[in-house]
Amino acid sequence: MSAPASRLAAHGETCRPLVAALVATSILACAPPGPPPNGNYSGDRPTSTAVVDQPVFDFGTVEPGTIVRHQYVIRNDGQHPLDLVKITPGCGCTYVKPVDKTIWPGHAGILEVALDTHGLSGPQSKAVRIRTNEGGRPEVELRFQGQVASDVKVTPDRVVLGRPGTPLSGSVEVEMLDPAASVTGVKSQYGQLELHQAPLGGSGRGVKIVVTPRRNGLTGLFNDRIVVTTTSKRQPKVTIPVMGSL
């Protein structure tokens, strides 16, 4: 072998361990963090097992506009890493912040849930659904419930008109729970509704509103809101969604 070739071969022998070390370092840098030293992967069919000791949290009674927070503890009692693949809040007023999306065997992760009660009233029950990589039960449901203090009760909380199986007129009852408060006004937010009100019958305090859409020669889907103003300091304005089809 010539001297240059010999030097090239020697150089190649020297570079190979260096290249291998660099590749190994690169792989380690890109790899996810390894399991804890006491991780248990024994067993013929390794699985992940999600356990939540308190899946239902009751926040009691709060004033409207309060932001309520709670941290759920999710434990992995299985033998395989537990991945929180997808987290779905129950509504737009619920926010979820996962601290750890991978929970190692024998360890626990935290999921913080916050509920913005602005615009809410009365009993509340919101679900948060978590899809995991667990084989037998891939979905976990957490529930966030309680009461938002209210001076006004609306029944039903929305009105649907003109769609299949529903009439082209409807009604909604607005009951004042605070004896010192009263209804001061009722109107259509976008002017698409005819509203007729009458006092509630029996011992109820408030109004019953009969709702019909204004034709105006229009057809198709429509959305509007009934806006009810009151003397309540807690709920000076209540909006009731109305949707339907002409």
Over residues 216-239, mean pLDDT: 89
The pLDDT value recorded for residue 230 is 96
CATH for the stretch 152-245: 2.60.40.10
- The residues, ordered by sequence, that sit 6+ positions from 54 with a Cβ below 8 Å of its Cβ are 72, 73
Token pair 């339907």: residue = 244
How far, in Å, CA of 181 to CA of 152, rounded? 9
Over residues 186-199, mean pLDDT: 94
For the whole prediction, is pTM greater than 0.85?
no
How far, in Å, CA of 159 to CA of 138, rounded? 36
The pLDDT value recorded for residue 40 is 43
**pLDDT tens-digit readout, 124-145:** 999 999 999 987 778 999 999 9
> 27 pLDDT band (50/70/90 cuts)?
very low
Token pair 């966030």: residue = 144
Over residues 4-10, mean pLDDT: 44
Is residue 222 scored above 80 in pLDDT?
yes
Q: Phi and psi at residue 3, in whole multiples of 5°?
A: -60, -45
**Number of other CB atoms surrounding residue 171 within 10 Å:** 15
Among 16-30, 118-132, 204-218, the range scoring the smallest mean pLDDT is 16-30
- The full length of the chain comes to 246
**pLDDT tens-digit readout, 79-109:** 899 999 999 887 878 888 877 789 999 999 9
Over residues 227-243, mean pLDDT: 94
Pair 243, 161: CB distance under 8 Å: yes
Over residues 158-175, mean pLDDT: 86
What is the pairing mode between strands 56-62 and 82-89?
unpaired
> 172 pLDDT band (50/70/90 cuts)?
very high
Is residue 168 scored above 60 in pLDDT?
yes
Indicate left, alpha or beta for 65 from its phi (over 0: left) and psi (-120 to 50: alpha): left
Give the whole-number percent of the chain exceeding pLDDT 70: 80
Token pair 């022998």: residue = 13
Looking at every residue in the chain, the average pLDDT score rounds to 80
Question: What residue ranges do the domains of the chain occupy?
Answer: 50-148, 152-245
The pLDDT value recorded for residue 217 is 63
**pLDDT tens-digit readout, 37-49:** 444 444 444 588 8
Domain spanning 50-148, CATH class = mainly beta
**HSE (side-chain half, CA atoms, 13 Å) at 170:** 23
- The residues, ordered by sequence, that sit 6+ positions from 94 with a Cβ below 8 Å of its Cβ are 113, 114, 115, 116, 126, 128, 144
Among 12-21, 151-160, 185-194, the range scoring the smallest mean pLDDT is 12-21
How far, in Å, CA of 223 to CA of 193, rounded? 10
Same fold, 50-148 and 152-245: yes
- List the beta bridge partners of residue 209: 172, 197
Give the whole-number percent of the chain exceeding pLDDT 90: 53
The pLDDT value recorded for residue 92 is 77
